[in-house]
Amino acid sequence: MINEEQRARILRQFNSFANRYDQDNYLSGLIIVSNVRRRRPRVGEENAKLHNKSYSYKIRMIGDDTYELPVCRKAFISLHGITGRRLQFLQKSLTEYGVVQKDKRGKHVKKKLSKQTIDLMYKQIDTLKTINGKKGHYNLRESQKIYLSDELNLSKIHKMYNENNPNNRVSYETYRNFFNKNFNISFGYPRVDTCSTCDEFQAEKKHLEIKIAPLPDGQEKSQILSQLRRLEIENLAHKKRAEVFYDKKRKARLTARQDVTTVAIAMDFSKNLSVPNITTNDVYYKRQLSYFMFNIHVLADSSSYFFAYDESIGKKGSDDVASHLFHFIFNKMELQVKSLIIFCDSCGGQNKNYTIFRLLHYIVHCCNRLELVTVIFPIRGHSYMECDRNMAYINQKARIELPEEWAEHMRGARQKPKPFDIIECSQDAFKGWTAFLKPFYKKTCPFPIRPVREFRVQKEHPRLMFHRNFNNSPWESSVVNTPASFRSMKAVNEGEFKLPGLAYKDKLPISTAKYNDLQFLKKFCRPETRRYYDELPHAANIKESEGN
């Protein structure tokens, strides 16, 4: 009876009204309210749920001859595109008032807080910010975000407010709205390994602010204010120096994305993982085998490589880092890459040492693999990098019984932008770079390593290493070898270079105490995995073999 064109016309007519109230008036003219003619309750009338009114519906057929056509409730709702809830509202209005009532949603007047109550809430929250507030440690730019101790929460400080101000109590919802609208505060400090310099500044600042509060204007107060200004300037300069590291990393990422001959990486060791990683409470009292993972993260495309091995295979020293870095440069980088930028922390035993500097010089001038290598070190305490974010993918509570199970777990830990590339290292992957490079270079580094902020090796200067102690200071150069040692280093055929021998002859022994603890823990593992722990070399076993 109602074709598609007529349905569209009815809906278009209904939607043409200016507001909801006009629509409701139009619909109320199409609803007929009448008394119920006959009741047939299945139970007694005192227990039956009887309808007070009966409703019938019609639609207005619009065309050359406009007329009204009776329809059922379902058709009435469908043709006008309304909900059953809205129809119930119209029925109730017509039954109780005879006309459609205006919608009163959003029309109520909120109870306004008194100025005294607002001032008291401001005072309490400002006091908490002064005593417990901290800014984000790694967000070095200007930010208004404040973090309070994780021992507090909104419910606790609301309760504290009502207890301290019984005459100006507010509801939790009112307090929550006021807190969220007027303050940019979160609970729980963002990190625990914060910079000691920044923490010392915060502690000294709070001490001086508490000390100056009760003092009247005078010489003592002016001296403390001067001391506060000096501390703030020093801390600002410290943070600006730290921000330079992150700025350089952002620029290197953009350069590497635009230039195929440049690669920028961040590298670091992850937290030591334990094997076996099981839930029994005896683990707390026993030593476990350490599992090492060295991460190299490519900044341009977020690809990430993990060199994984346990403590019986290798260590975490400069030779181990040099071996991983050499493998990455010659096996994972494209051949067209000629410039490498490295971001890493200032750990002297791993990244920031003479062995790594000599290795990079050797790769540029003897292996002829790269033309420029730059290493950039951060300010201590401000070394958060992509490697730290990658480690967050590891479920450290996963049940792991063998080292290779950690590697398998990591392979499936991330899917986007691409899965982790896990390289399980055997002992032939570790080379003795320190002993190998020693004859070709000066015995000791010709410049102090500890204060170096940036290091560089360039193809145009075969006997020099460049370094600077501040990010924006001029580059200094140091001669690192003699002409004779440089010639001996290159005394091979064109396109060839020398490589060191293995760093470790045999598997590295673990302590006898750790071996005994592993023998105890292996009984909680599957029978097929227990043999691995029996074959681990340990100190007592090595001495016995040497005696035989």
Residues 455 and 532 reside in one and the same domain: yes
The 10s digit of each residue's pLDDT in 477-495 is 999 988 887 777 776 777 7
* Structure-token pair, residue 3: 């074709």
Distance (Å, whole) CA 304 – CA 347: 21
Given the structure tokens 């059922």, which residue do they identify? 72
Rounded to whole angstroms, how far apart are CA atoms 206 and 202? Answer: 6
User: Per the domain annotation, does 455 fall within a domain?
Assistant: yes
Same domain membership, residue 267 and residue 204 = no
Query: Do 182 and 144 fall into the same domain?
Result: yes
Residue 547 domain-assigned? no
Same domain membership, residue 488 and residue 393: yes
Closest CA to 148 of 112, 192, 187, 105: 187
Using the predicted structure, report yes or no on whether residue 545 has a pLDDT greater than 60.
no
Highest mean pLDDT of the ranges 139-143, 183-187, 372-376? 372-376
Q: Which residues pair with 424 in a beta bridge?
A: 308
pLDDT of 140 reads: 46
Measured distance CA(47)–CA(507) in Å, rounded: 87
Residue 141: CB partners within 8 Å, gap ≥ 6?
243
- Residue 298 contacts residue 415 (beta carbons within 8 Å): no
Q: Please tell me whether residues 120 and 201 are part of one structural domain.
A: yes
Average pLDDT over residues 332-348: 91
Mean pLDDT check: name the lowest of 146-155, 222-231, 288-297.
146-155
Which pLDDT tens digit goes with each residue over 268-306? 998 899 988 888 888 888 899 999 999 999 999 999 999
- How far apart, in whole angstroms, are the C-alpha atoms of residue 486 and residue 299? 33
Identify whether residues 394 and 424 lie together within a single domain.
yes
Residue 28: count other Cβ atoms within 10 Å of its Cβ: 16
Task: Give ∠ CA 483-486-488 in degrees, rounded to 5.
Answer: 110
**Do the strands 289-298 and 262-269 form a parallel or antiparallel pair, or are they unpaired?**
antiparallel
Q: Give the residue from 20, 26, 36 showing the smallest Cα distance to 95.
A: 36
Tally of domains in the chain: 3
Preceding omega of 417 cis (within 30 degrees of 0)? yes
Strands 262-269 and 185-187: unpaired
Q: What is the tens place of the pLDDT at every residue in 186-200? A: 876 655 456 667 777
- Residue 327: helix, strand or coil by DSSP? helix
**Residue 438: inside a domain:** yes
Q: What single letter denotes the amino acid at residue 111? A: K
pLDDT of 186: 80
Domain interval for residue 469: 259-540
Give 275's strand partners: 289
Q: CA dist 506 to 312, 503, 511, Å?
A: 9, 9, 15
Among the ranges given (106-120, 125-139, 462-476), the one the predictor scored with the smallest mean pLDDT = 125-139
Give per-residue burial for 416-450: e unless 16+ CB within 10 Å, then b: eeeebebbebebebbbbbbebbeebbeeebbbebe
Residue 21 gets the label, from left (phi > 0), alpha (psi -120 to 50) or beta, of alpha
If asked whether residues 222 and 286 sit together in one domain, one would say no
Same domain? For 394 and 427 the reply is yes
What is the C-alpha to C-alpha distance for residues 269 and 308, in angstroms, rounded to an integer? 10
Please name the residue that has the structure tokens 């801390």: 235
